Amino acid sequence: MVAIFIIGFIVSMGLALALTPLVKKFAVRIGAMDTPNARKVHTRIMPRLGGLGIFLAFVITVAALLPFVSAWFTTRDMSFVSAFLIGGSIIVLIGALDDRFELSAKVKLLGQIVAASVVVFGFNIRVDFVNIPFQDAYSSLEAWVAIPLTIFWIVGVTNAINLIDGLDGLAAGVSGIAIGTIAVMSFLMGNMMIALMCLVLLGSIIGFLFFNFHPAKIFMGDTGSLFLGFSLAMLSMLGFKQIAVVSFITPLIIIGVPLSDTFFAIIRRAVQRKPIFSPDKGHLHHCLRELGFSHRQTVLIIYGIAAFFGVLAIIQSSAAMFEANWVTFVVICIMMFFLQVGAEVIGLVSKTRRPVINFLMRMRVKLSPETRSKS
């Protein structure tokens, strides 16, 4: 069994290495090019559509491995794989069309909803129950709640990855770290189907990163960012399926970087009284660049943040196995504290509003020896 996982990872990585240069030539030939503008960091025209290399490497490897591993999988596992491949194909088609023709936001959103609906209605994949935090219990969800919740989850995570795709290797690396986290959790839970899918996809991402890390030779485009977002949404839903093992918060921690960046973007635009969907240069990677970090340093810092979230997710899920619910509470508190302080330090919401940092500074002054001696 171990050999299959290793082979799947190596084959997918090799295919991505071989296919990405071909995809690059194809992108140039059909005119799928990314032109610099005021919002973008790069300064020269670059081919996009690189996500097609990730997708093809993943699909070819999964198709080649299925005859050897189908005996391990239940009927529901095979249904999940089918839903993943079909829904992912729809997402990749939408992304590829956008990379070439620049579709409107409404058309892309409609395509994502169609893909999510195929998963939900075509294969009956849905969030049908969630754990109750800090209790050894779960709550069943009625269809009228489960269906829109699942569609919202898939569409939301899909777009969250798309929003952080602003620097060479950023979206691919952050997605790879999140998928690696899910792979570790899957092995701990004994969910071999999810673990295999994660390792194959991780191999595809690493193979693509050889061409996408700074200085990039090709961008993944919406083809890649939307597919990786869709993949994370699907794979992280395993957190909702393990009743006695993982609480509902785990998938949110796994994809903490893109979700928090999206959350702070919404808050920032609300504070600035701008439309929620209006583009800006206030995302995490923009703010780090403004602080003076280089392109590579910014990407590596965000990789570190993503890894931090991954470790928290593994700690939380491992604690849940032993019903140590207090660990979940501690993890959530740590995560929220560092998120808020980090957002204030780099100015994700506002360059001047820093309520938590100001509070900590006031407390530090009050508790200092000089202040206490005067009092």
Residues annotated within a binding site: 162, 222
The model's pTM is: 0.85
Q: Give the total number of structural domains in the chain.
A: 1
For residues 144 and 93, the model is more confident at: 93
How distant, in Å, are the alpha carbons of 107, 208, 283 from that of 218?
Answer: 25, 9, 22
**Which long-range CB contacts under 8 A does 321-329 form with residues at least 24 apart?**
321/188, 321/245, 323/136, 325/133, 325/134, 325/135, 328/133, 328/134, 328/247, 328/249, 329/134
| Domain extent for 274 | 2-374
pLDDT confidence of residue 188:
82
Q: pLDDT category, 327, cuts 50, 70, 90?
A: low
Left (φ > 0), alpha (ψ -120 to 50) or beta: where does 42 sit? beta
Neighbours of 319 (CB within 10 A): 18
Give me the phi and psi of 124, to 5 degrees please.
55, 35
- pLDDT, one tens digit per residue, over 353-363 is 777 777 777 77
Type of residue at 195: A
Tell me the mean pLDDT in the region 193-221.
94
> H-type helices in the chain, by residue range?
2-30, 51-69, 75-101, 105-117, 123, 143-163, 170-189, 192-212, 221-236, 238-241, 250-254, 256-271, 284-290, 295-321, 325-346, 355-367, 369-374
Q: Are 227 and 50 in contact (CB under 8 A)?
A: no
Q: How confident is the model at residue 321 (pLDDT cuts 50, 70, 90)?
A: low
The predicted pLDDT at position 243 comes to: 35
pLDDT above 70 for 374 = no
DSSP element (H, E) containing 47: strand 46-47
What's the chain's average pLDDT?
Answer: 82
User: Mean pLDDT lowest for which of 193-207, 264-278, 322-336?
Assistant: 322-336
d(CA 318, CA 328): 10
At position 103, the amino acid (one-letter code) is L
Range name among 16-25, 106-115, 245-254 with the lowest pLDDT average: 245-254
Question: What is the distance between the alpha carbons of residues 20 and 211, in angstroms, rounded to a whole number?
Answer: 8
Q: For residues 168 and 217, what is the distance between their CA atoms, to the nearest angstrom?
A: 9
Cβ atoms of 272 and 287 closer than 8 Å? no
**Residue 33 backbone dihedrals phi, psi, to 5 degrees:** -120, 150
Question: Of 285-294, 301-310, 338-347, which range is least confident?
Answer: 338-347
d(CA 136, CA 100): 50
Neighbouring residues of 189: CB distance < 8 A, sequence distance ≥ 6: 238, 242, 245, 246, 317
Contact 296, 214 (CB under 8 A): yes
Annotated binding residues for Mg(2+), written as ranges, equal 162, 222
* Residue 40: C-alpha distances to residues 94, 160, 276 (Å): 22, 18, 19
pLDDT for res 347: 72
305 touches 298 (CB < 8 A): no
Would you state the structure tokens that stand for residue 69, as one six-digit string?
A: 């591993």
Segment of 37-46, 65-74, 82-91, 139-148 carrying the highest mean pLDDT: 82-91
